[in-house]
């Protein structure tokens, strides 16, 4: 009994001491900020080291994915706190200085929309609490991955051609935050096919589902360019459906209605039947019914060699039921979270410059990132524009006002966010920074893999240049710099801005690329 009583008293004493420490010796905001910076640095070292390794263990990839997500969340909270904690007097001095120079900074609140609380004190208290939770969460995750850090050295390095302070160049030329998804696709392709020994011929099928422009084609292209995959399949064939899928019992007839691209041709001396395994990637533009899929799958089982595999990508969830493997279920690809998107945008916008040394620009960049999320194309385009104008804060303010106006006009004219409108193939409003009296309507965007017929005029020229064109004309929305090197081409029409007010806007300076 004495032993039990002593244990109970000891436990109560320990809890009381911990309670007093937590409530009487609470760490100050600078202490929490410093702890979060240090633990984020440790997490970043682990994540960047993992990015340079060819990891194949699925459990390790899942652990890294959780750590990476927590790291992005921590950076987002830390940056938000850093910008919110600036004194009101300093902010007013900056606004007066910009107003005196004629830059109109007082009309822009860079942090509008980040926090909705009316009280600055409550805002900072809430963010401080989130910082404490982030420190605890990241600390726990780093302790959990201690064994993982040891195992990382056992995986071969990937040649990334990276130098110090060049992370923005690396992110511009690779997929961001898709390491786990890529390895899942590669694992499916390298897994021994059931058809190799099954009494009846069957082909393994992996469905990949996700919204438009989320990166499904990019994900598959990177997986297919893996040397392990290239060595397993004698031919890798991409079929891009453009007009509604219709299944055929004859595979040749189906291919006539699709855009075809050979990533890897047959090895010399082989033929369609005995030349080794095929990898067929089918990219669907629309929905898919069971009859159409049944005809296509039946044709594939008859004409493709044993051990071949099929990947199907679509925006529709209906294809998920056509998956055939038990080890790799249908893969769902989602847009980046706000925190991961901000990390990506910040890295591209500041390049080798530390954002902490340019806090005013960093605050503006966070607002620009909020305006362009979740569009990676928009992030790349506007981050490059900001980075090229890093010495002129007036350009950053001008870009922010431009994006706000675009968002407002698209909501009033077409009832949606510009990114959503383009994804839904609806008309979208595009302002013209160099010609405020004009605007452009962008619609009917198409994706193409060939460089032939790509227009010389780009969306960048329309928004920031002095393009003079009448009627409807083709415009290059974006050309990807990473596999599969797709181009997005749409139709554009420049129109005069109708105003009823007698007050005319002051013309803006042209921002050249």
pLDDT of residue 26: 61
Count how many Cα atoms sit within 13 Å of the Cα of residue 124 in the half-sphere of its side chain.
14
Domain count, the chain: 3
Residues 111 and 220 in one domain: no
Residues 198 and 287 in one domain: yes
CATH number at residue 326: 3.40.50
Residue 106 is inside which H or E element, if any? Answer: none
Q: Are 29 and 129 in contact (CB under 8 A)?
A: no
Question: Of 73-82, 385-394, 491-500, which gets the smallest average pLDDT?
Answer: 491-500
Count how many Cα atoms sit within 13 Å of the Cα of residue 116 in the half-sphere of its side chain.
0
Residues 126 and 243 in one domain: no
Q: How far is CA 60 from CA 97, 152, 153, 192, in A?
A: 51, 9, 13, 22
Question: What are 329-332's contacts with CB under 8 Å, separation 24+?
Answer: 330/206, 330/207, 330/208, 330/209, 331/181, 331/184, 331/185, 331/206, 331/207, 331/208, 331/209, 332/208, 332/209, 332/210
Question: pLDDT tens-digit profile of 458-502?
Answer: 888 888 887 887 788 999 888 888 888 888 899 999 888 775 443
Higher pLDDT, 433 or 174: 433
Q: Are 365 and 397 in contact (CB under 8 A)?
A: no
In whole angstroms, what separates CA 68 from the centre of its chain?
A: 14
Of 175, 183, 283, nearest to 229 by C-alpha is 183
DSSP assignment of 323-364, as one string?
A: ---SSS--EE--PPPHHHHHHHHHHHHHTTS-GGG-HHHHHH
Other beta carbons within 10 Å of 475 = 25
Other beta carbons within 10 Å of 252 = 9
Q: Which phi and psi (to 5°) does residue 498 adopt?
A: -85, 120
Residue 411 lies in a domain: yes
Residues 314 and 431 in one domain: no
Q: Are 355 and 82 in contact (CB under 8 A)?
A: no
- d(CA 245, CA 218) in angstroms, rounded, equals 21
Of 368, 332, 376, nearest to 350 by C-alpha is 368
Higher pLDDT, 506 or 47: 47
Of 19, 68, 75, nearest to 48 by C-alpha is 68
Buried b (16+ CB within 10 A) or exposed e, 404-437: bebbebbeeebebbbbbbbbeeebbbbbbbbbbe
Question: Of 67-81, 311-325, 444-458, 489-503, which gets the smallest average pLDDT?
Answer: 489-503
Residue 502 lies in a domain: no
Residues 246 and 346 in one domain: no
Neighbouring-strand partners of residue 239: 260, 282
pLDDT of residue 253: 58
Of 253, 279, 251, nearest to 266 by C-alpha is 279
Residue 228 Rama label (left phi>0; alpha psi -120 to 50; beta): alpha
3-state secondary structure 268-293: CCCCCCCCCCEEEEEECCCCCCHHHH
Residues 344 and 325 in one domain: no
Residues 277 and 393 in one domain: no
Question: pLDDT tens-digit profile of 210-222?
Answer: 998 898 998 999 8
Residue 109: band (very low, low, confident or very high) from pLDDT cuts 50, 70, 90: very low
The pLDDT of residue 437 is above 90:
no
Residue 166 lies in a domain: no
What is the arrangement of strands in the sheet containing 331-332, beginning at the earlier edge strand? Answer: 258-264, 235-241, 278-283, 309-314, 204-209, 331-332
The pLDDT of residue 141 is above 50:
yes
The pLDDT of residue 258 is above 80:
no
Q: Are 424 and 411 in contact (CB under 8 A)?
A: no
Q: How many residues does the chain have?
A: 513
Residue 508 lies in a domain: no
Residue 306 Rama label (left phi>0; alpha psi -120 to 50; beta): beta
Question: pLDDT tens-digit profile of 360-378?
Answer: 889 899 999 999 999 988 8
Of 252, 249, 323, 242, nearest to 284 by C-alpha is 242
Residues 302 and 413 in one domain: no
Question: Which positions ≥6 away from 493 have C-beta within 8 Å?
Answer: 440, 441, 471, 472, 473
The pLDDT of residue 270 is above 50:
no
Question: Of 246-250, 280-284, 368-372, 418-422, which gets the smallest average pLDDT?
Answer: 246-250
Residue 114 lies in a domain: yes
Residue 512 lies in a domain: no
Q: What percent of the chain has pLDDT over 90?
A: 23
- d(CA 148, CA 169) in angstroms, rounded, equals 27
Tokens of 265: 């041709």
Residues 75 and 109 in one domain: yes
Q: The domain containing residue 254 runs over which residues?
A: 181-332
Residue 505 lies in a domain: no
First to last CA, the chain: 81
User: Rounded mean pLDDT of 187-213?
Assistant: 76
User: Rounded mean pLDDT of 165-187?
Assistant: 74
Q: Are 190 and 182 in contact (CB under 8 A)?
A: no
Averaged confidence pLDDT in the chain: 77
Residues 359 and 464 in one domain: yes
User: Rounded mean pLDDT of 425-439?
Assistant: 87
pLDDT of residue 370: 93
Q: Are 279 and 293 in contact (CB under 8 A)?
A: no
Residues 7 and 155 in one domain: yes
The pLDDT of residue 348 is above 80:
yes
For residue 32, give the DSSP letter: H
- d(CA 165, CA 25) in angstroms, rounded, equals 39
Q: Are 218 and 265 in contact (CB under 8 A)?
A: no
Neighbouring-strand partners of residue 204: 309
The pLDDT of residue 431 is above 90:
no
Residue 503 lies in a domain: no
Residues 155 and 10 in one domain: yes
């Amino acid at each position: 009994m004495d032993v039990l009583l002593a244990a109970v008293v000891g436990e109560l004493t320990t809890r009381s001491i911990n309670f007093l420490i937590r409530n009487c010796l609470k760490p100050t905001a600078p202490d929490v900020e410093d702890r979060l910076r240090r633990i984020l640095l440790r997490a970043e070292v682990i994540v960047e080291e993992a990015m340079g390794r060819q990891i194949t263990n699925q459990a390790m990839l899942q652990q890294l994915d959780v750590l990476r997500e927590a790291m992005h969340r921590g950076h987002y909270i830390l940056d938000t706190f850093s910008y919110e904690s600036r004194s009101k007097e300093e902010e007013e001095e900056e606004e007066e200085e910009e107003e005196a120079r004629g830059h109109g900074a007082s009309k822009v609140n860079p942090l509008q929309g980040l926090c909705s609380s009316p009280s600055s004190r409550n805002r900072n208290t809430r963010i401080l609490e989130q910082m404490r939770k982030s420190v605890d969460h990241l600390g726990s995750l780093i302790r959990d991955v201690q064994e993982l850090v040891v195992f990382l050295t056992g995986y071969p390095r990937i040649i990334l051609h990276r130098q110090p302070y060049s992370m923005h160049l690396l992110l511009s030329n690779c997929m961001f935050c898709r390491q786990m998804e890529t390895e899942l696709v590669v694992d499916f392709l390298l897994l021994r096919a059931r058809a190799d020994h099954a009494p009846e011929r069957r082909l393994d099928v992996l469905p990949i589902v996700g919204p438009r422009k989320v990166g499904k084609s990019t994900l598959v292209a990177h997986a297919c360019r893996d040397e392990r995959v290239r060595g397993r399949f004698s031919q890798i064939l991409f079929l891009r459906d453009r007009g509604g899928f219709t299944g055929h019992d004859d595979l040749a007839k189906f291919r006539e209605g699709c855009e075809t691209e050979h990533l890897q041709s047959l090895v010399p001396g082989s033929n369609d039947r005995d030349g080794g395994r095929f990898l067929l990637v089918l990219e669907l533009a629309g929905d898919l019914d069971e009859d159409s899929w049944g005809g296509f799958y039946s044709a594939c089982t008859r004409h493709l060699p044993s051990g071949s595999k099929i990947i199907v990508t679509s925006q529709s969830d209906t294809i998920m039921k056509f998956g055939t493997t038990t080890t790799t279920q249908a893969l769902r690809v989602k847009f980046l979270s706000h925190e991961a998107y901000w990390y990506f945008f910040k890295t591209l916008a500041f390049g080798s410059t530390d954002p902490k040394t340019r806090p005013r620009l960093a605050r503006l960049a966070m607002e620009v990132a909020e305006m362009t999320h979740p569009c990676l194309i928009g992030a790349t385009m506007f981050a490059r524009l900001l980075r090229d104008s890093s010495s002129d804060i007036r350009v950053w303010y001008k870009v922010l006002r431009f994006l706000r106006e675009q968002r407002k006009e698209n909501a009033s004219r077409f009832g949606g966010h510009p990114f959503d409108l383009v994804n839904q193939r609806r008309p979208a409003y595009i302002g013209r920074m160099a010609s405020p009296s004009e605007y452009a309507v962008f619609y009917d965007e198409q994706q193409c893999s060939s460089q032939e017929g790509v227009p010389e005029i780009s969306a960048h020229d329309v928004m920031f240049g002095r393009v003079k064109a009448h009627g409807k004309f083709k415009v290059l929305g974006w050309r990807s710099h990473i596999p599969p090197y797709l181009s997005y081409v749409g139709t554009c029409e420049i129109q005069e801005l109708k105003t009823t007010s007698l007050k005319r806007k002051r013309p803006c300076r042209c921002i050249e690329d």
